[in-house]
Structure 1
Amino acid sequence: MTSIGVLGTGIVGRTFAARLAELGVDVLVGARTADSPSLEPVAALGVRTGSFADAVAHAEVIVNATNGLHSIAALESVGAEALAGKTLIDVSNELEPVEGGFPKPLASADDSLGQRIQTAFPELRVVKALNTMNCTVMVDPSIVEGDHVVFLSGDDAAAKDQARELLATLGWRPVQVVDLGGIDTAAAVEMTMSLWMRVTMARGSDAPRFNWAINSG
């Protein structure tokens, strides 16, 4: 994979930017405006920056690393026409802030951010992936030993192939990639964030990174 656009300048976006640049991928990270102060830490990594629209125009494959509460608004600022035909790998989670505690995942069995993005932009090819783990594991699965997994949810087979290509670039092996089916299955993976939060709290913030695995006889 030679070029990627990344939407978002938070910890997830910066982690993707640094890792992709390290791997030799031509990456451009976008914020709401090209002169946003939030882009300064990204530029310090030696990574190209611009607006959300610039990031979308940069590559056929886009990583949505925006705050899930604002993802649809970020995409609306780009426009449906510019997004048409692009593949969006949505790694975000919609998390409601909780004063003094961990944020609350908002996904339910009948609703997910991935589904709503696909509905809002029907010509955008949405693949939900990587949202079930810490961002350091997203970009470097070797951090966790064994055949822990990453899930794919999406309606477009070609877009899923592009997602697999990005995953392979990041170091994910085919045996670790589990295709759950259509974008409706994004609800299930987004709901796992409630469990992820509880496990993280129980283990403590200083515990080694972890991820989910599927073990069978």
Structure 2
Amino acid sequence: MTSIGVLGTGIVGRTFAARLAELGVDVLVGARTADSASLEPLAALGVRTGSFADAVAHADVIVNATNGLHSIDALETVGVEALAGKTLIDVSNELQPVEGGFPKPLASADDSLGQRIQAAFPDLHVVKSLNTMNCTVMVDPSIVEGDHVVFLSGDDAGAKDRARELLATLGWRPAQIIDLGGIDTAAAVEMTMSLWMRVTIARGSGAPRFNWAINSG
């Protein structure tokens, strides 16, 4: 597995970085500043840390685990030139907080965060994936039984191959990976978050540890 840069130190970024380090992958996790206190728990685990720019410079494959509302701003701190030619696996969701209610996904039928990242950084190879499940399932699909699935959306075939390599490292089997097509298909994937949140709440305790499966008759 190639070196990986993880952007973001929230629960998703921490889970990704810790799991990759456990698997022996060369990983560096970045925050907005290299001295951010949010990096300390990861450094204590022996994970290399730095700024967003450090993480991008470290790796050819980047995992965007930043808050979706701020992902483009975070990438802008790195810069267009530094991102050119890199593969970005975007696992984030753009969720607008709602006081007293469910967060509101901002994706629509013809717009998504994945598409806007690709438009903002045309020389970056964006692959939308893994955003349809809890982060514990993202990094260890074996915790959910059966042939549940993960989707890929992106315009660059080579970037999708690198995404598949990362997925395989995490334990995803080829039969579980569904290529939906170009980055425009990310809109449909991101829109599933409304349903995901409703199912999570309906299931109650331990609810996030599930995923979608496709069964044919």
Shorter-normalised TM-score: what interval? over 0.9
What are the Cα deviations for residues 131-165 of structure 1, in whole angstroms up to 9, with x where unaligned?
A: 00000000000010011000000000000000000
For residue 98 of structure 1, report the CA deviation from its aligned partner: 1.7
The answer to whether the 8 Å contact 2:3/2:27 transfers is: yes
Distance 1:13 1:183 in 2: 22
For residue 205 of structure 1, report the CA deviation from its aligned partner: 4.0
Query: Structure 1 segments of 4 or more deviating over 6 A?
Result: none
TM-score after normalising by structure 1: 0.98
For residue 206 of structure 1, report the CA deviation from its aligned partner: 2.7
Count of paired positions: 217
For residue 208 of structure 1, report the CA deviation from its aligned partner: 6.2
Distance 2:113 2:58 in 1: 24
For residue 24 of structure 1, report the CA deviation from its aligned partner: 0.2
Distance 1:93 1:86 in 2: 20
Paired residues for 1:32-47 under 5 Å = 32-47=32-47
The answer to whether the 8 Å contact 2:8/2:66 transfers is: yes
Deviates more, 1:116-125 or 1:35-44: 35-44
Show structure 2 runs of 5+ residues with no match.
none
What are the Cα deviations for residues 18-56 of structure 1, in whole angstroms up to 9, with x where unaligned?
A: 100000001100000101111112212210000000000
Distance 2:28 2:112 in 1: 27
Q: Name 1:112's counterpart in structure 2.
A: 112
Distance 1:204 1:120 in 2: 39
TM-score after normalising by structure 2: 0.98
Deviates more, 1:106-115 or 1:92-101: 92-101
CA RMSD for the aligned pairs? 0.9
Show structure 1 runs of 5+ residues with no match.
none
Distance 2:101 2:10 in 1: 19
For residue 207 of structure 1, report the CA deviation from its aligned partner: 3.3
Distance 1:27 1:67 in 2: 20
Distance 2:207 2:111 in 1: 31
Q: Tell me, what secondary structure is at the counterpart of 1:66?
A: coil
The answer to whether the 8 Å contact 2:68/2:95 transfers is: yes
Taking every aligned residue pair, what percent have the same amino acid on both sides?
92
Distance 1:207 1:71 in 2: 26
